[in-house]
Amino acid sequence: MAAKEILVKKYVVRLSGEEREQLEMLIRKGKSPAGRILKARILLKADVSEAGQGWSDNRIIEALETSVSMVYRVRKQLVEEGFEAVLSRKQRATPAVARIFDGEKEAKLIALACSKPPKGRVRWTLRLLENKVVELGIVDRASDSTIGRALKKTSFSPIAASAGLSRRRRAARS
């Protein structure tokens, strides 16, 4: 049991009066994301300063119905990164998936979609565009859904363009 208490006390929470007040206000308002409110409650319960409750991790886990790792991470983040880091979400350094089409490649895709369709075809399909952009070396790989999203983002539809309909006319028809 003594070994557990030593591990728990590796990251000791000591809040200033101003920090406690800010956390209590956050909880009272109830307008923050649930994760942020939970972290605020953990900090208030774990605070060993004079105004704090200084609860053990087991008591916090039981009272707030959370996990051991959550309490540990909140304590650790407060000590290592500071008060503001605990309450704010960490932004990703890089996007989840790198974009395939940048501005220049997108322009080439749109130009291709506006061009005459291949022989024997009435219009460009997303699959045809997918194959052609890879064949022309515009991008290394692409899926038809990626092509569709790129064209949708620019409010361009190869079907409407080939039929000669503007966006307003398509909306009016619906």
In terms of domains, do 74 and 109 share one?
no
Instruction: State mean pLDDT over 71-95.
Output: 87
Residues 49 and 108 in one domain: no
Residues 139, 73: one domain? Answer: no
Q: How wide is the angle at C-alpha 16 spanned by C-alphas 62 and 52, nearest 5°?
A: 35
Is the distance from CB of 13 to CB of 72 less than 8 angstroms? no
pLDDT tens string 56-66: 889 999 999 99
Instruction: Give dist(CA 168, CA 170) in Å, integer.
Output: 5
Q: Are residues 71 and 22 in the same domain?
A: yes
pLDDT tens string 137-174: 999 998 888 898 888 876 665 555 555 545 555 555 55
Tell me, what amino acid is at 29?
K
Yes or no: say if 128 and 90 are a contact pair by the CB < 8 Å rule: no
* Residue 150 counted as domain residue: yes
Q: 19 and 83 in one domain?
A: yes
89 pLDDT band (50/70/90 cuts)?
A: confident
Q: Domain range for residue 116?
A: 103-173
What's the total number of domains in the chain?
2
Please indicate, yes or no, whether residues 108 and 83 belong to a single structural domain of this protein: no
Q: Is the pTM of this model over 0.85?
A: no
Residue 113: inside a domain, yes or no? yes
**Quick one: 77 and 113 in the same domain?**
no
Domain boundary (87, 119, 149) is at: 87
Is residue 97 domain-resident?
A: no
Query: What per-residue confidence (pLDDT) applies to 95?
Result: 72
167 to each of 56, 128, 159, 172, 173, how far by Cα in Å? 62, 22, 11, 9, 10
Domain boundary among 87, 121, 140: 87
Domain contains 128: yes
Same domain, 9 and 65: yes
122: pLDDT strictly greater than 70: yes
Residue 127 sits in the same domain as residue 54: no
